């Protein structure tokens, strides 16, 4: 993965929330490969197995804290002790269907937790670049399938999506009240939000995620049931948005007055989004077999049919581009699970293979 635009992460103090989750475990590995000193703050891994445990991510950390982002005092004490130069806030209740079951917990973690993180940064009074990870689902859905741009209306028709829209508002309020850009020399804090699409890659075992279902169905030798085979989603390999987050933070550190503290989409290039059925067929082709059946459930919660992200801002202003085409992302993900199934102790090596391929892929 790119080292970030012009800054080295070596020796940089970084605070990551949600480091025991899927994206967090990849992010810690990316930072550790570049020599950063990472403190992680999160609840225990949300799944068994987990990438955090399988890849030995705890061993890459300067400090591993088991903590709840709703515990504002604990979070503030750990963040102040870490004295971070960059903060990546990934901790979240990240599942749409669990959000339907547990809306209050979802709002508490995703909204109050984000407010607690930003308040911890204010209380620490340390200049730093803060990246708040929200989602492509933070937007009010476009029923005509137009790609979402960063200035589009926030919304969300389910608790998870709405909680991510609220997290965007919390970050925007902090940017205007606690950390106004015109007083940057006084507080030294920049806050950006990042909205990625449907992320795939090895080591995700979360319930209700498509790849989790595909791997389970293949292992059981049964067809996978697809609730929305025609739905279009902005699929991408986890290393692509992560390289965007790292590049963005690197630029914020290098040039604090340049105005990077705003919202950014990271998704596939135009034409790179696929239907669920096309994704599944490509995955099974790469994995060496598997089949699906349509199992639309009229009682299931409503889901957006088409979700696309416009990435022009990241391409133009950051020089960012996804490095893995969708077919490559799918093939590498299938290969990761095949490798893990053959040898669960190979998780870190499988991740390293993906890091190397990503570094070598032309930008």
Catalog residues that contact ligand NAD under the rule CB under 6 A: 18, 20-24, 42-43, 46, 68-70, 90-94, 109, 113, 133, 135, 196, 198-199, 206
Q: Would you say 196 or 215 has its CB closer to ligand NAD? A: 196
Three-state secondary structure string covering 48-89: CCCHHHHCCHHHHCCEEEECCCCCHHHHHHHHHHHCCCEEEE
Distance CA 42, CA 53 (A): 14
CA distance 214 to 226: 10
CB of 114 to ligand NAD, least distance (A): 9
Q: Which position has the token pair 């197995």?
A: 49
Q: Which residue, judged by CB position, is nearest to ligand NAD in the bound state?
A: 21
Least distance between ligand NAD and beta carbon 67 (Å): 6
Residue 22 or 324 having the CB closest to ligand NAD? 22
- Percent of the chain that is helix, strand, coil (3-state, to 5): 45, 15, 35
- 61, 38 contact by CB (below 8 A): yes
CB-nearer residue toward ligand NAD: 40 or 290: 40
Complex with ligand NAD: residue 7 or 115, whichever CB lies closer: 115
Report the residue number, 43 or 277, with the smaller CB distance to ligand NAD: 43
Structure tokens at 136: 């492509």
Q: Please, what is the minimum distance in Å from the beta carbon of residue 330 to ligand NAD?
A: 14
Of the pair 42, 287, the CB lying nearest ligand NAD is at 42
- Smallest gap from Cβ 138 to ligand NAD, in A, equals 9
d(CA 85, CA 26): 20
- Of 266, 283, 261, the C-alpha closest to 274 is 283
E strand residue ranges, 230-278? 232-233, 235-237, 263-266, 274-275
Closer residue to ligand NAD in complex, CB, 261/267: 267
Shortest CB 286 distance to ligand NAD, Å: 19
Phi, psi of 131 (to 5 degrees): -110, 115
CB of 137 to ligand NAD, least distance (A): 7
With beta carbons less than 8 A apart as the criterion, state whether 249 and 86 touch: yes
Least distance CB 186 / ligand NAD (angstroms): 29
Could you check whether the bond before residue 330 is cis, i.e. omega within 30 degrees of 0? no
**Distance between CA atoms of 161 and 94, rounded to whole angstroms?**
9
Query: Is residue 190 within 8 Å of residue 184, measured between CB atoms?
Result: yes
d(CA 184, CA 256): 8
CB of 280 to ligand NAD, least distance (A): 16
| In contact, 45 and 94? CB cutoff 8 Å | no
**Which of 7/282 has CB closer to ligand NAD?**
282
Shortest Cβ 257–ligand NAD spacing (Å): 28
> Hey, what's the torsion of the CAs at 251, 254, 258, 264, to 10 degrees?
20
Would you say 7 or 32 has its CB closer to ligand NAD?
Answer: 32
């Amino acid at each position: 993965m790119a080292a970030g635009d012009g800054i080295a992460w070596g020796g940089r103090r970084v605070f990551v929330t949600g480091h025991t989750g899927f994206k967090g475990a990849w992010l810690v590995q990316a930072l550790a490969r570049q020599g950063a000193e990472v403190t992680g703050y999160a609840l225990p891994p949300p799944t068994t197995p987990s990438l955090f445990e399988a890849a030995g991510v705890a061993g890459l950390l300067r400090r591993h804290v088991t903590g709840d982002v709703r515990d504002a005092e604990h979070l503030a004490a750990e963040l102040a002790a870490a004295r971070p130069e960059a903060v990546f806030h990934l901790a979240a209740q990240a599942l749409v269907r669990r959000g339907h079951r547990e809306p209050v917990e979802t709002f508490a973690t995703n909204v109050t937790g984000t407010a607690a993180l930003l308040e911890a940064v204010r209380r620490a009074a340390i200049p730093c670049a803060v990246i708040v990870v929200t989602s492509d689902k933070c937007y009010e859905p476009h029923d005509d399938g137009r790609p979402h741009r960063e200035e589009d209306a926030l919304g969300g028709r389910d608790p998870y999506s709405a909680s991510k829209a609220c997290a965007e508002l919390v970050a925007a309020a902090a940017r205007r009240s606690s950390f106004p850009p015109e007083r940057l020399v006084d507080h030294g804090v920049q806050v950006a939000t990042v909205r990625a699409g449907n992320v795939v890659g090895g080591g995700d075992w979360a319930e209700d995620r498509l790849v989790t279902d595909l791997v389970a169905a293949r292992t059981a030798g049964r067809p996978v049931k697809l609730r929305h085979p025609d739905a279009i989603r902005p699929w991408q390999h986890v290393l692509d948005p992560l390289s965007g987050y790292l590049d963005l933070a690197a630029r914020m550190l290098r040039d604090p007055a340049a105005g990077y503290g705003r919202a950014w989409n990271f998704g596939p290039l135009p034409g790179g989004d696929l239907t669920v059925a096309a994704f599944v067929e490509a995955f099974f082709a790469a994995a060496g077999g598997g089949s699906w059946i349509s199992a639309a459930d009229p009682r299931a919660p409503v889901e957006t049919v088409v979700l696309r992200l416009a990435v022009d801002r990241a391409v133009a202003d950051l020089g960012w581009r996804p490095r893995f085409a969708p077919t490559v992302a799918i093939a590498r993900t299938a290969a990761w699970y095949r490798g893990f199934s053959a040898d669960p102790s190979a998780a870190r090596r499988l991740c390293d293979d993906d890091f190397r391929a990503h570094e070598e892929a032309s930008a």
